[in-house]
Amino acid sequence: MSTSTISASDVNKLRQQTGAGMMDCKKALMESNGDFEAAIDILRKKGQKIAANRQDREAKEGYVFGKVSSDGKNGIIVAVCCETDFVAKNQDFIKYGESILDLAMAKKPAGIEDLKNLSLGNVTVAQSLLDQMGKIGEKIDVVDYQTVSAEKVIVYNHPGNKLTSMIGLNMSGAKVEEAGKDIAMQAAAMAPVAIDKDDVDTRTLERELEIAKDQARQEGKPENMIEKIAQGKINRFYTDYTLLNQTFIKDDKKTVRQYLEGTDRNLKVTAMKRVKIG
């Protein structure tokens, strides 16, 4: 097909189908002699080339999406990253991320790779990411995917959508939901690493203990006191970094545990997820 026979409507049709730029669509149609399917393949290959060229680029910007199912028992967080804040705030990028979130909610994949293998429209999520790279010209990726199932799930999307927290509770009801919102905000603000002391990863605990011992030695503490001092620092770590033992952000006279018990003595946090980008 010659340049003269490639109409503006053809270019616009391809642009609507792929989201690629006008000039890229025109070039693809020229290269494919007007074959729309071949032109789409050409644009996808361009996306793949961009992806390959940008593997070493850092996608530090993006958008974190959180959603709860209509019955309130399942929650999902999906983080989609890009290279610039300009793209992260673009409505087309946000709409694309929301489509992945909705797909994840509908299909409930087991993990991030399973999510990428799901079909989004006529292509997989993985292929759609490459298509987005071709369209936008930046590295785009799904970098985190978290799920929670519980009697009641609360998702808190922090303003700016760089941070989302998700809490699972063992009960439901109006008072429980209100408490869940407070706890989800606590998790977002205070970045706990675990729900309670026994939930702290063993390797994390061992690392903190060694750091505490080294600090005590550097401060010149007697060797026979090192272990006791280190344990004291670990207790402080629990207070600072385990959700139930943190000081409640809305009332510094209470711990989160005490706040929950004040809501309902049987109320328990069964799951906690926190995703942050940037």
Query: Is 15 inside a domain boundary?
Result: yes
Residue 223: what pLDDT?
Answer: 86
Task: Look up residue 104 and give its amino acid.
Answer: A
Residue 137: what pLDDT?
Answer: 85
Which carries the bigger pLDDT value, residue 233 or residue 261? 261
Question: Average pLDDT of 185-208?
Answer: 92
Query: Is 29 inside a domain boundary?
Result: yes
Question: Average pLDDT of 217-244?
Answer: 88
Which carries the bigger pLDDT value, residue 21 or residue 181? 181
Does 221 have pLDDT greater than 90? no
Residue 182 structure tokens: 């407070």
Query: Is 235 inside a domain boundary?
Result: no
Which carries the bigger pLDDT value, residue 253 or residue 47? 253
Query: Phi and psi dihedrals of 62, rounded to 5?
Result: 150, -155
- Confidence band, pLDDT 50/70/90 cuts, at residue 2: very low
Range of the domain at 10: 3-53
Report which of 169, 130, 171 is spatially closest to residue 40, judged by C-alpha positions.
130
Query: Is 114 inside a domain boundary?
Result: yes
Which carries the bigger pLDDT value, residue 223 or residue 2? 223
Residues 10 and 22 grouped into a single domain = yes
Does 135 have pLDDT greater than 90? no
Per-residue burial over 240-275, b if 16 or more Cβ lie within 10 Å, else e, is: ebbbbbbbbeeeeeebbbebbeebeeebebbbbbbb
Question: Average pLDDT of 66-75?
Answer: 97
Question: Average pLDDT of 21-44?
Answer: 84
Does 117 have pLDDT greater than 50? yes
Q: Give the pLDDT confidence of 248-261 residue by residue, as tens digits.
A: 999 999 999 999 99
CATH of the domain at 77: 3.30.479.20
Residue 215: what pLDDT?
Answer: 82
Question: Average pLDDT of 55-60?
Answer: 66
Query: Is 198 inside a domain boundary?
Result: no
Instruction: Say how many domains are in the chain.
Output: 2
